[in-house]
């Protein structure tokens, strides 16, 4: 019997959001030629850099007066504001001064270093990108980095994106000479990640890139962006026109503050000025959303930076949503509405040919299962078990494969559960493995029997003690009055066996084995011309053999 071990790994979500965010103003959308005019204006301005020097953002001096803005959002509570407008999530929005004070406290009495915060921020950005934009569809990423800490966040994010399977390219025109930033550049070059100048970029970024990460300016920046960043902001803003004309959507992700925006007032274009900031598809706020984030209208707003200590939360009265599991980011905006009928995947996979597969379906399953493990899929042993009782009503649930050999596929459960009752009435069942990242499925039909008591005992005592106790206290599929009932029963049992003595396997818990009579291997292909190879048992010269047949997709 081959034991099955699950490898946990970071995976990419399979859901695709098809809503398109257009950056252009309502007036420009009403004219069919306005995008062409904007595109032409951008191309002309691209080659006429201003001679003005670059205004660098720098840390605030202790004796510097805080910069204040006349804003309808400002109140007397140190620049911290709360809103539950976004999908009923109560979250704080902070002003520029509060953001600066939080950073000073983090890097002062709380002992954080700049490089530590930068690493956490960059990882958060990369995690948010990976949650929405799969590398298989958005592989080429342009990361535009400014001279300050926001640019450093972008450099860190680029490194993590590389390890997540993307192909980042970095535009870093005004490099910092500090040891920290030089080290980040060295790390990226060691991965053979390309650096390009602004002059080397294509006139239309959508011609080469699937994603653009805006890491130019953060919350400490003020004033009007100067060259070459004014040009780069225009280049990213012009992607809207490129999307319309070229029928290709290059997504834009801004780190903390969309470049060109006022930290508190938002996009200056919304105030009927001639200056226009970037309007991204995704905004990844750091520590807490800044006031300008209230005017973000894109489909994906995330919060990153899972490092805010309770002292900061208390001092600034911050309201931060909980992060799910071990994630470094949390969605704080309502996900975009989706036309379910429009959700589709264009599969691209190696062909599944009869002459190239194993004659034995058990061997073919092992090949695919090993490849799923090697690909880092999370719980590739998860399978849908479908059963039908004597009433003819089907039911399905996910169980975990715990072993397989030529005799069948084994899992363990409570013998008093619904699936166990249905299997006692009808021993025919099916298993389905769905490996989305590999565009593969395996469906197995057969008859089910219980494994030996010895086999169940051996596996039960190989489980963690907590899982053993859970198997005892759970009367699976029965109705509970509330969660405390099973939790209290668990704590009592935990206390009973706290001395480390062996926990006896309950009689109502054990394993099942499905002995296959049919296998189907499915491989996704373009235009829905999927490969489906079916193995069935046939009698050949008095012996049982597996017959391979191709099914229509």
Catalytic positions: 528
Angle at 28 between CA 24 and CA 34, to 5 degrees: 105
Task: Express each pLDDT in 493-545 by its tens digit.
Answer: 999 999 999 999 999 999 999 999 999 999 999 888 999 999 999 888 888 89
Mean pLDDT score of the chain, rounded to an integer? 82
Is 220 among the annotated ligand-binding positions?
A: yes
The pLDDT of residue 371: 95
Q: Is 218 annotated as a binding residue?
A: yes
- Alpha-carbon distance 241 to 161, whole Å? 27
Domains and CATH numbers, the chain: 26-48+80-334 (3.40.50.10260), 346-461+505-550 (2.30.110.10)
Report the C-alpha gap between 418 and 216 in whole angstroms.
57
Count of CA atoms in the C-beta half-sphere (13 A) of 94: 26
The predicted structure's pLDDT at residue 277: 82
Q: Does the annotation list 499 as a binding residue?
A: no
The confidence band for 249, taking pLDDT boundaries of 50, 70 and 90, is confident
Quote the crossing angle between the two packed helices 483-496 and 465-473, to the nearest 10°: 130
Ligand-binding annotation for 51, yes or no, is no
Question: What are the pLDDT digits (tens) for 468-497?
Answer: 999 999 999 999 999 999 999 999 999 999
For 494-533, b where at least 16 C-beta lie within 10 A, e where not — what string?
A: eeeeeeeeebebbeebbbbbbebeebbbbbbbeeeebbbb
Predicted confidence band of residue 334 (pLDDT cuts 50, 70, 90): confident
Does 153 carry a binding-site annotation?
yes
Consult the annotation and say whether 69 binds a ligand: no
Q: What is the mean pLDDT of residues 257-263?
A: 88
Please indicate if the annotation marks 524 as binding a ligand.
no
Which residues have C-beta within 8 Å of that of residue 196, sequence separation ≥ 6? 169, 170, 171
What is the rounded CA–CA span in Å between residue 54 and residue 69? 23
Does the annotation flag 484 for ligand binding? no
Of the candidate ranges 29-38, 191-200, 283-292, the one whose mean pLDDT is the lowest: 29-38
Average pLDDT over every residue of 339-347: 71
> How far apart (Å, rounded) are the C-alpha atoms in residues 535 and 404?
17
For residue 8, the tally of other CB atoms under 10 A from its CB is: 10
Is 439 known as a binding-site position? no
Give the CA angle between residues 54, 60, 62 to the nearest 5°: 145
Please tell me which residue, 397 or 19, carries the higher pLDDT value. 397
Residue 4 pLDDT: 59
């Amino acid at each position: 019997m081959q034991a099955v071990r699950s490898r946990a790994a970071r995976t990419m979500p399979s859901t695709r959001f098809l809503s398109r965010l257009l950056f252009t103003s309502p007036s420009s959308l009403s004219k069919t030629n306005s995008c062409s005019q904007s595109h032409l204006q951008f191309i002309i301005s691209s080659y006429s850099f201003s001679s003005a020097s670059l205004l660098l953002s720098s840390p605030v001096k202790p004796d510097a007066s805080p910069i204040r803005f006349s804003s309808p959002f400002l109140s007397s509570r140190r620049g911290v504001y709360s809103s539950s407008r976004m999908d009923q999530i109560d979250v704080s929005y902070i002003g520029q001064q509060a953001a600066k004070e939080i950073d000073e406290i983090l890097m002062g009495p709380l002992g954080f270093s700049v490089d530590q915060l930068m690493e956490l921020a960059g990882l958060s950005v990369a995690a948010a990108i990976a949650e929405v934009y799969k590398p298989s569809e958005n592989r080429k990423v342009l990361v535009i980095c400014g001279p300050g800490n926001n640019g450093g966040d972008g450099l860190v994010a680029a490194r993590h994106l590389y390890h997540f399977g993307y192909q980042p390219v970095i535009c870093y025109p005004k490099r910092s000479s500090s040891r920290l930033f030089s080290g980040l550049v060295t790390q990226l070059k060691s991965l053979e990640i390309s650096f390009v100048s602004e002059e080397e970029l294509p006139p239309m970024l959508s011609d080469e890139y699937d994603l653009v990460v805006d890491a130019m300016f953060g919350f400490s920046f003020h004033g009007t962006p100067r060259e070459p960043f004014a040009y780069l902001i225009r280049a990213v803003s012009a992607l809207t026109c490129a999307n319309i004309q070229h029928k290709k959507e290059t997504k834009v992700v801004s780190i903390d503050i969309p470049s060109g925006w006022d930290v508190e007032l938002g996009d200056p274009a919304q105030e009927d000025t001639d200056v226009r900031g970037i309007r991204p598809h995704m905004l990844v706020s750091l520590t807490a959303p800044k006031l300008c984030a209230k005017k973000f209208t894109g489909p994906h707003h995330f919060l990153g930076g899972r490092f805010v200590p309770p002292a900061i939360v208390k001092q600034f009265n911050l309201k931060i949503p909980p992060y799910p599991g071990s994630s470094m980011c949390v969605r704080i905006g309502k996900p975009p509405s989706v036309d379910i009928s429009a959700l589709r995947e264009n599969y691209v996979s190696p062909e599944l040919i009869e002459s190239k597969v194993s004659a034995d379906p058990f061997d073919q399953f092992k090949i695919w299962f090993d490849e799923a493990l090697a690909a880092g899929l999370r719980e590739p042993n998860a399978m849908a078990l479908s059963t039908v009782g004597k009433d003819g009503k089907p039911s399905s649930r996910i169980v975990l494969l715990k072993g397989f050999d030529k005799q069948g596929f084994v899992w363990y459960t409570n013998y008093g559960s619904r699936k166990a009752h249905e299997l006692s009435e009808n021993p025919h069942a099916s298993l389905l493995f769905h490996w989305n990242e590999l565009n593969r499925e395996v469906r197995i039909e057969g008859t089910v029997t219980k494994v030996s008591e010895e086999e169940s005992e051996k596996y039960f005592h190989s489980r963690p003690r907590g899982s053993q106790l859970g198997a005892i206290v759970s009367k699976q599929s029965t109705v509970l009055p509330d969660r405390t009932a099973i939790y209290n029963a668990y704590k009592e049992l935990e206390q009973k066996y706290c001395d480390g003595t062996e926990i006896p396997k309950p009689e109502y818990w054990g394993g099942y084995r499905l002995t296959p009579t049919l296998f189907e291997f499915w491989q996704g292909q373009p235009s829905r011309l999927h490969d489906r190879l079916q193995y069935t048992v046939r009698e050949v010269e008095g012996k049982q053999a597996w017959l391979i047949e191709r099914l229509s997709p």
